[in-house]
């Protein structure tokens, strides 16, 4: 009985781990600009690098201005399967890049990257 119970516990543990082990959500690995970085404008190249493939057609980048207004960011034609890239012209100030990435397993991940343009 104790052995069976242990086996059952191990099996439950394995089943709980399976969804994350079998499918990769798109986690942000690094970005340009990095979070809280100050970069030079007005030409700004955005690059978000993920740990797995993302759907560039159905992922979303939104720029949040200091006053709270938002602006959709048109992405470049996907240059790398695990990247979301865009080029913007920005005035000096504080911004937040809000991202929503759709990975190939159908899961959506989200995050925000605050940065400043000098």
Residues of this chain that bind Cu ion (CB under 5 A): 23, 25, 105, 107
Residue among 41, 33, 38, 31 nearest 90 (CA): 41
Closest to Cu ion by CB, 33 or 103: 103
Instruction: State the nearest-atom distance from the C-beta of 89 to Cu ion, in Å.
Output: 34
Cβ nearer to Cu ion, comparing 105 with 112: 105
* In the complex, minimum distance from the CB of residue 107 to Cu ion, in angstroms, rounded to a whole number: 3
Query: Residue 1 Cβ, how far from Cu ion at the closest point, in Å?
Result: 37
Question: Would you say 13 or 19 has its CB closer to Cu ion?
Answer: 19
Instruction: Outline where the chain has alpha helix (H).
Output: 2-22
Quote the Cα angle for 64-51-88, to 5°: 30
CA 23 to chain centre: 16
């Amino acid at each position: 009985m104790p052995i069976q119970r242990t086996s059952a516990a191990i099996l439950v543990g394995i089943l709980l781990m399976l969804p994350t082990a079998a499918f990769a959500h798109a986690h942000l690995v690094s970005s340009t600009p990095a979070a809280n970085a100050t970069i030079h404008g007005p030409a700004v190249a955005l690059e978000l690098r993920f740990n797995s493939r993302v759907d560039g057609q159905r992922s979303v980048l939104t720029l949040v201005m200091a006053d709270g207004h938002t602006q959709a960011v048109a992405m470049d034609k996907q240059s790398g399967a695990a990247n979301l890239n865009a080029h913007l012209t920005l005035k000096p100030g504080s911004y937040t890049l809000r991202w929503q990435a759709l990975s190939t397993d159908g899961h959506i991940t989200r995050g925000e990257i605050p940065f400043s343009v000098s």
